Structure 1
Amino acid sequence: MVHPQRVTQRHIADVLGLSVNTVSRALAGKGQVSDATRDAIRTEAERLGYHPNSHARSLVSGTTMVVGLVITNPSNPFYAALISAVEQRCRTAGYSVLLLVTEESEQNEQEAVQQLLRFGVDAVLGVPIQNRPDAWESLAKAGLPVVLLSRDIPALGFDFVGIDAEQGIHDAVLGAVGEGGVRRAWLFEEDLEISTTAERIAGFERALSDLGAAPADSLVIKVPTRRTGGASLPWRPDDAYRMAAGLITPGNHPGLVVTGNDYFALGVYKALRECGLRVPDDIMVLGYGDHPFAAYLEPALSTVRLPAHAMGTRAVDFLLARLADPDAPRRAALLPPDPVHRASTRGAA
């Protein structure tokens, strides 16, 4: 089989009887090239199927026009929306996106950062694992602009865009229970030692305090994080189901169950059905994330909608500003989530 040869500027120059330098200047929109010649060169480039060599261009410009994006769990609908927003905003600014996934593995995170350094990306957006900042320190030492997403590492001084998870859960709990209040409440939360988990727990406990509940009336249940070989697998409803089924009985249950993600709420729903408890008459359920299935459960799940698109767009804007002015003061933003009250709670619709 004869493989077609990559079309270069030399091919265009030879066809038109021009110098490579003239072709290069015309395609780059630079230099003294007549409109007629420029049009002829672009027409021939399109006919031949010419595409610029980005590697060669980066050697000349010193930039790759590529942004690295490091996330933990692509199966999470929130991250899927975030990736889309980042890609859209980067594309409008002329950048491509190189996506790398860590699955909450420190080894994967180290390898992802080293790959970004080898590739020579211009900047990095990332969700850090937070256990150890070593990998991100490598990016700081290399002088790469970095914007952290969702989870911060304040000591490194990177720009940061997060979600006010504490206030979001606090407001959602108060809105969910309505004027009737709640006697006891349980929170089914991930057992990952990350800031977003801690923030949700803090918001949950503050809400119960504001409702006048005693500390003994709140319970935080840590659900295993599906770890296999140091990595984290996608959320599974049965993780929360098994724990709820072992704790909740008709004679021992709270008035409200809050879950750190909507997948856990799926498991809690099943446990409650098997126990003969009705939602929301016997027990209210509040999720987190507003995943696509939440509105279609029976009853529809009250939850917290997260501003994934706004976060991705704001993060890229921060990154572009940092590229334009490396010495500017640190930028940080906490975006407000949006409580969504549906039939699984008794709060305002």
Structure 2
Amino acid sequence: MADSRRVTLKDIAKSLGVSVNTVSRALTGKDSVGEETRARIKAEAERLGYVPNPMARSLVLGSAMTIGLVITNPSNPFYARLISAIEHRGRAAGYSLMLLLTEESPDGDQNAAQTLLRWNVDGALVVPAVQGDGEHWARLSDAGIPLVCLNRDLADLELDYVGVDYERGAYEATRHLVASGARTVCLMEEDLPISPVADRIAGFRRALADAGLTGERVVSVPTRRLESLALPWEPADAYRLAQEIVRGDRLPDAIMVGNDYFALGVYRALTEAGLRVGEDVLVGGFGDHPFAAYLNPSLTTVALPSADIGVTAVDLLLRRMKGQDDHDRDHDRADKRRLPAELVVRASSRRGVT
């Protein structure tokens, strides 16, 4: 049976007749090893199948060379793109990624914070869970681990944040529906107590107020993330609520939804009632998920800069980890960054356009 024992620095040293210290210095890039010797050691390490032990390396370097990433649900297309951008940017800087999932659970949130502390990661990027006061994240920061909140801001805590300007995005989307002829607009939004939802509602209300329109309507859509972890949202509840809207006394001119998945339910309810999306009722979404452009009619929606958020967050975290900061602000002051979203106008909000 083949020897499955992990190859060590000692094995490489014995094979080449050099010291373990020389092998270690060669593989960690220390200048005190000649280039010819370094090349021989690297070639032998590759031949023997040597894989560095991250725990041992962290003890030598005094750093885990690891960034923690805590998110709620990886099946959300927004987070899928975010993870990819963060992993790519972190790897380019020499850091590995430790991914932890909370599934919107307060207990999962606290366990993630404890895990990151136990593994002594160099820094962490965190999408906070729905409930809880976030003190466990403050304790992680107080322990000397730099922390950047992603997509959801913990406004009561002095923590860095990189997310989307949801308020502006919702404002622009609502203003577009009004400009397209809507005088009554209904917003179907998630029932989660998180900053993106609050910001979208604020933007929606501001756009209607600026247009001099009254009689706003916000419908709260139940979120079943703890019942079914496969998808971040359920179109079924949006479908049921849209049916109630269609059967009601006042059919709105337009329906805007907090995410594109809800639009799937709205489309079905309107179509079954014999109403034409984009003609009888305008529809706007949020997220610009891959299916949005292929619905019939294609869905007007707000595209979110998920990759830019990932890159910006990693760069900010790296500066915090290195103790660097912009010259024009206090290093101890939290950096709150909201990146712009882009309204993508398609047929669902333009009467007569196919």
Q: How high is the TM-score relative to the length of structure 2?
A: 0.92
**Equivalent position of 2:142 in the other structure:** 141
Distance 1:145 1:227 in 2: 29
Equivalent of 2:336 in 324, 332, 339: 332
Q: CA deviation at 1:12?
A: 1.3
Matching residue's letter, 1:49 = G
**Percent of paired sites with the same residue:** 53
Matching residue's letter, 1:334 = R
2:256 is the counterpart of 1:252: no
Matching residue's letter, 2:338 = L
Q: Which moved more, 1:131-140 or 1:181-190?
A: 131-140
Distance 1:342 1:102 in 2: 35
Alignment of 1:164-313 (within 5 A): 164-178=165-179, 180-214=180-214, 216=215, 218-226=216-224, 228=226, 234-249=232-247, 252-313=250-311
SS at match of 2:56: helix
Matching residue's letter, 1:343 = A
Distance 1:234 1:254 in 2: 27
TM-superposition CA deviations, 1:223-265 (whole Å, max 9, x none): 0011547989621111100111122138631001000000000
Distance 1:104 1:130 in 2: 6
2:43 is the counterpart of 1:62: no
SS at match of 1:162: strand
Distance 1:83 1:108 in 2: 19
Contact (CA 8 Å) 2:26, 2:38: kept in 1 or not?
yes
**Equivalent position of 1:125 in the other structure:** 125
Contact (CA 8 Å) 1:130, 1:153: kept in 2 or not?
no
Q: CA deviation at 1:158?
A: 1.4
Distance 1:119 1:35 in 2: 34
Instruction: Structure 2: state its 5+ residue gaps.
Output: 325-329
Distance 2:167 2:280 in 1: 26
**Equivalent position of 2:91 in the other structure:** 91
Q: CA deviation at 1:25?
A: 1.7
2:166 is the counterpart of 1:162: no
TM-superposition CA deviations, 1:66-113 (whole Å, max 9, x none): 111011121211011111111110010001111111111101111111
- 1:227–1:80: structure 2 CA closer, same or farther, 3 Å change rule? closer
Q: CA deviation at 1:347?
A: 8.1
Matching residue's letter, 2:96 = S
Contact (CA 8 Å) 2:7, 2:49: kept in 1 or not?
yes
- 1:55–1:223: structure 2 CA closer, same or farther, 3 Å change rule? same
Distance 2:227 2:118 in 1: 26
Q: CA deviation at 1:32?
A: 3.1
Q: CA deviation at 1:342?
A: 0.2
Q: Which moved more, 1:285-294 or 1:146-155?
A: 146-155
Matching residue's letter, 2:184 = R
Q: How high is the TM-score relative to the length of structure 1?
A: 0.94
Matching residue's letter, 1:161 = V
Contact (CA 8 Å) 1:237, 1:265: kept in 2 or not?
yes
SS at match of 1:339: strand
Q: Which moved more, 1:82-91 or 1:167-176?
A: 167-176
SS at match of 1:118: helix
RMSD after superposition: 2.1
